[in-house]
Structure 1
Amino acid sequence: MFFDTDIGGVVHNLAYLRMIETCRTKLAGKMGMDLKSMAETKVFPVVVRTEIDYKRPATLGDALLIRGRLDEMQRARFWCAFEIRRESDDALLITCRQALALVQMPEGRPMRMPKEWQE
């Protein structure tokens, strides 16, 4: 989108994070944590770390493909990995990893990872 770019037509770094947020929300739904169930259970995945590498810029008009996956499980947090590629030439533009913790609200209490995620 035009609002995702600067005056030179290059995509802003913040726009990439917004795209990753959208992908992560869809991934959470596939893992059984859709927005409705999070609101009902009051258990939310909270980003505690983001690592992002900018390989190549996307520009105004590029169609982008964002892929996300569960990458690593630990006792009290998990990592998701993301890639953003340009559809026209499959060029790798961004790699990203995010560490998340499950938090029970409103107490703000960290939780252990569900056993079914280990499988």
Structure 2
Amino acid sequence: MSERPTIETREEVMFFDTDCGGVVHNLAYLRMIETCRTRLAALMGMDLRGMASTHLFPVLTRTEVDYKRPAKLGDWIVIRGRLAELSRARFICEFEMIRESDGTLLVTARQGLALVQMPEGRPARLPAEWLEQWG
């Protein structure tokens, strides 16, 4: 069994990420996590073009978010994502969001996902290779 996939992305807080006080709103954090998770999926063999051709997509089943400290306009945020758990039908990814300038932990998140075959919307088992490699 090899080490589970991890990835690090980086985002600058823009005007559209903030409220009138210049503080990042919760939806912006989720967008940044989505970007990190999409890149993590590519490391796992599910890049955007591949998903579009196979019509097999990871679908969120649960999101837990803990907001520790606020990010503000102009902050650079490092988002660290990792595959945390696997079963036959579901997997869990975990994320940390850290302010780059001072190393402050801003947000932690945990997301549950399942694979769905579209357009039928039929649940699919995780690839056997995933369980062999990271199970």
| Aligned pair partner of 2:33 in 1, 17, 20 | 20
| Residues 31-81 of structure 1 deviation map (CA, whole Å, 9 limit, x = unaligned) | 110010001111000001000000000011111000111010012110000
Aligned to 2:89: 76
TM-score in terms of structure 1 length: 0.97
Q: Does 1:8 align with 2:21?
A: yes
| Residues 67-103 of structure 1 deviation map (CA, whole Å, 9 limit, x = unaligned) | 1110100121100001100001111000001000000
- Cα deviation for residue 116 of structure 1 reads 1.5
Unaligned runs of 5+ in 2: 1-13
Q: For the residues of structure 1 that align with 2:130 and 2:106, how far apart are their CA atoms?
A: 29
Q: For the residues of structure 1 that align with 2:30 and 2:105, how far apart are their CA atoms?
A: 16
Greater relative contact order, per chain length (Cα 8 Å cut-off, separation 6+): 2
Correspondence list, 1:1-119, <5 A: 1-118=14-131, 119=133
The aligned length equals 119
Q: For the residues of structure 2 that align with 1:89 and 1:117, how far apart are their CA atoms?
A: 36
Q: For the residues of structure 2 that align with 1:81 and 1:29, how far apart are their CA atoms?
A: 16
The sequence identity of aligned pairs, in percent, is 72
Which amino acid letter does the alignment assign opposite residue 57 of structure 2? F
Q: What's the C-alpha RMSD, in Å, of the aligned pairs? A: 0.7
Q: For the residues of structure 2 that align with 1:60 and 1:116, how far apart are their CA atoms?
A: 42
Deviating beyond 2 angstroms after TM superposition, the runs of 4 or more aligned structure 1 residues are none
Unaligned runs of 5+ in 1: none
